[in-house]
Amino acid sequence: MAAVKSSLPRRQFDVVVVGAGGAGMRCSLQLANAGLSVAVLSKVFPTRSHTVAAQGGIGASLGNMSEDNWYWHMYDTVKGSDWLGDQDAIEFMCREAPNAVYELEHFGMPFDRNPDGTIYQRPFGGHTANFGEKPVQRACAAADRTGHALLHTLYQRNVASRTQFFVEWMALDLIRNDAGDVLGVTALEMETGEIYIFEAKTTVIATGGAGRIWAASTNAFINTGDGMGMAARAGIPMMDMEFWQFHPTGVAGAGVLITEGVRGEGGILLNKDGERFMERYAPTLKDLAPRDFISRCMDQEIKEGRGCGPDGAYVHLKLDHLGADVINKRLPSILEIGHKFANVDATKEPIPVVPTIHYQMGGIPCNYHGQVTVWDGKEAQIVNGLYAIGECSATSVHGANRLGTNSLLDLIVFGRAAGNHIVAAHPERQRSHQPLPQASVDFSLDRVNKLESRTKGERTQVVGNEIRNAMQQHCGVFRTMASLKEGVNKIDALAEKVDNIAFQDKSKVFNTARIEALELSNMIEVARSTIHSAAARTESRGAHALDDFPTRDDDNWIKHTLWYSKGNRLDYKPVQMQPLTVESFPPKTRTF
């Protein structure tokens, strides 16, 4: 294999982490503290990653305010996942959760406190005591700014540990040799427009979610699924991409998130008749049933003409009865969001809300050490030198539906676990960097050069809007086979347009036109994987609710979907039903 030409500038590190959100920075901290040389690349300043927007809390069975244990947490997570989560990874996460949270506390994370000094915990959807008996207080919170507190704590710790940050750098492609090993990434320095090679013995993808492929989303604009695009182009499948979570309470018309913590504190959903309709659908958990379930109930209320407002297009989230004191203390950002995005004073009036795309359960397949795997028909084979953590990964702890507060937990537990695993494996990888494969680097450069040289073609904004509208129209809270198939045709046609994007401004310095065009090439991979996977799953499970197939089909569908970009190919692999040390939870009907 020819070694790569030396013309591109190169940097060498033990580990390159792509992404400076909660997952990336928890991992890099572990690596830097162990003395490895670590580069963290981020499109934005680290504390602007989407983790900063997380509001409600991080789940851990500390039992500070009501009796709790990790096995109950595990049960809730398996049930929440609608039995598509891997029970080994779920056990690992729930068991590790208390320690991971105490560690954050010791790092200096400013949690809210109880009068006795312990961490404050609020109830959250789907989290219960004694296997579904009643809601439990498990969400550790810093007011309604938990992600903000978490991300700033991790950033400061990383600075102290001398992690090297490359801020406003966009990773473009994985560098993968013929043996399938990953040897680093190509990346664009936004300030200069120059492309560099980052050579690494280990590469970690921590690029977050891709909620921006929908028109109405709670996600940050940078959430364009870059890591998934990179993996898909390098031949790695995307797993369970049909499962996307709609959060029940996005501000109607704006999409901005109102945390589930509002309902955790006692807020309730009302229809136009002032009825607390969740009592009808979920007699035990009511407004604290899991998100997939509540989103469908809201959709139902709206469809059946019980929505609020002039067009009956939303429902009301009432919280004024909590009193101004509680709202000011526990939910200050919600008060502000109500003012700014819905023009209501939440201490006096309800907030208009609709289900809004929020979170992807699927992503890059990996095991609970964070190692990326590909399925060979019999076993999961490890991709040497590549890890994936955080929202872009499918470990899979969330299966078909994630419980609130389990994402921040997943970042911390698996960010740390991946870091530890890389450190433990490092002596073996101590040898010098492997020769870089020319073909893989050329592939990435060709991609950019084609874009650079094209002067006539499709416009990024126009095609981007078409993708977002198609996803919104064909892949919503409720899906039908006919509409999904139409969506498949539209997205496949749009993929051809993405291959023909052109922009006029060819300047190098901070050229956002170039960056947006490159992001679009990642978004389309996510959209394709989503719509193709969804159109093939002929059942309803978790967040995938299909009118034509309204029930869960355990005989045929307890399996993970794998989608390959090349050839638009689908494959399946079994769900890991066997936990690590405890008894498994066999499938049963989900009632709340």
Ligand X SMILES: Cc1cc2nc3c(=O)[nH]c(=O)nc-3n(C[C@H](O)[C@H](O)[C@H](O)COP(=O)(O)OP(=O)(O)OC[C@H]3O[C@@H](n4cnc5c(N)ncnc54)[C@H](O)[C@@H]3O)c2cc1C
Annotated binding site: 19-24, 42-57, 226, 247, 259, 358, 391, 402, 407-408
| CA-closest candidate to residue 388, choices 154, 581, 225, 196 | 225
Binding-site entries for substrate: 247, 259, 358, 402
Residue 135 interacting with ligand X (CB under 6 A) = no
| CB 210 to ligand X: min, Å | 10
> Which of 13, 16, 24, 523 is close enough to bind ligand X by CB under 6 A?
24
CA angle at 251 for the pair 249 and 256, rounded to the nearest 5° = 95
380-388 and 194-205 strand pairing: parallel
Token couple for 588 = 């049963």
**Amino acid making up residue 54:** A
Alpha helices in 189-340 (DSSP H): 226-233, 261-264, 278-281, 291-303, 324-330, 332-337
Residue 54 interacting with ligand X (CB under 6 A) = yes
> Which of 4, 16, 17, 20 is close enough to bind ligand X by CB under 6 A?
20
| CB 202 to ligand X: min, Å | 16
**Amino acid making up residue 575:** V
| CA-closest candidate to residue 434, choices 197, 175, 179, 183 | 183
| CB 495 to ligand X: min, Å | 19
Contact 230, 205 (CB under 8 A): yes
Token couple for 66 = 């009501």
559-564 and 238-239 strand pairing: antiparallel
| CB 48 to ligand X: min, Å | 7
- Which of the residues 203 through 232 are near ligand X (CB under 6 A)? 206-209, 218-219, 222-223, 226
For ligand X, the closer CB: 12 or 47: 47
> Which of 28, 49, 249, 530 is close enough to bind ligand X by CB under 6 A?
49
For ligand X, the closer CB: 173 or 539: 173
CA 553 from centre of chain? 26
> Which of 16, 39, 50, 271 is close enough to bind ligand X by CB under 6 A?
50
Candidate ranges 55-63, 67-75, 308-316, 321-329; the one touching ligand X (CB under 6 A): 55-63
Catalytic residue chosen out of the listed positions 291, 330, 416, 537: 291
Residue 21 interacting with ligand X (CB under 6 A) = yes
Question: What distance in Å separates the CA atoms of residue 243 and residue 397, rounded to the nearest whole number?
Answer: 13
Token couple for 89 = 């990874």
Token couple for 36 = 């490895």
> Which of 4, 15, 16, 18 is close enough to bind ligand X by CB under 6 A?
18
Candidate ranges 15-23, 380-388, 446-454, 456-464; the one touching ligand X (CB under 6 A): 15-23
For ligand X, the closer CB: 167 or 536: 167
Question: What distance in Å separates the CA atoms of residue 259 and residue 58, rounded to the nearest whole number?
Answer: 12
Alpha helices in 277-405 (DSSP H): 278-281, 291-303, 324-330, 332-337
Question: What distance in Å separates the CA atoms of residue 281 and residue 298, rounded to the nearest whole number?
Answer: 10
Question: What distance in Å separates the CA atoms of residue 541 and residue 479, rounded to the nearest whole number?
Answer: 12
Binding-site entries for FAD: 19-24, 42-57, 226, 391, 407-408
Site mask for ligand X (CB under 6 A), range 360-399, x = bound: ------------------------------xx--------
Question: Under rule CB under 6 A, how many of the chain's residues touch ligand X?
Answer: 45
351-360 and 315-318 strand pairing: antiparallel
Residue 251 interacting with ligand X (CB under 6 A) = no
CA angle at 250 for the pair 240 and 485, rounded to the nearest 5° = 40
Site mask for ligand X (CB under 6 A), range 403-422, x = bound: -xxxxx--x-----------
| CB 416 to ligand X: min, Å | 13
CA distances from 436 to 175, 197, 446 (A): 8, 10, 16
Contact 328, 345 (CB under 8 A): no
For ligand X, the closer CB: 385 or 487: 385
Residue 41 interacting with ligand X (CB under 6 A) = yes
- Which of the residues 327 through 366 are near ligand X (CB under 6 A)? 359
Known catalytic residue at 291: yes
Catalytic residues: 291
Binding site for ligand X (CB under 6 A): 18-24, 41-44, 49-51, 53-58, 146-147, 169-171, 206-209, 218-219, 222-223, 226, 257, 259, 359, 390-391, 404-408, 411
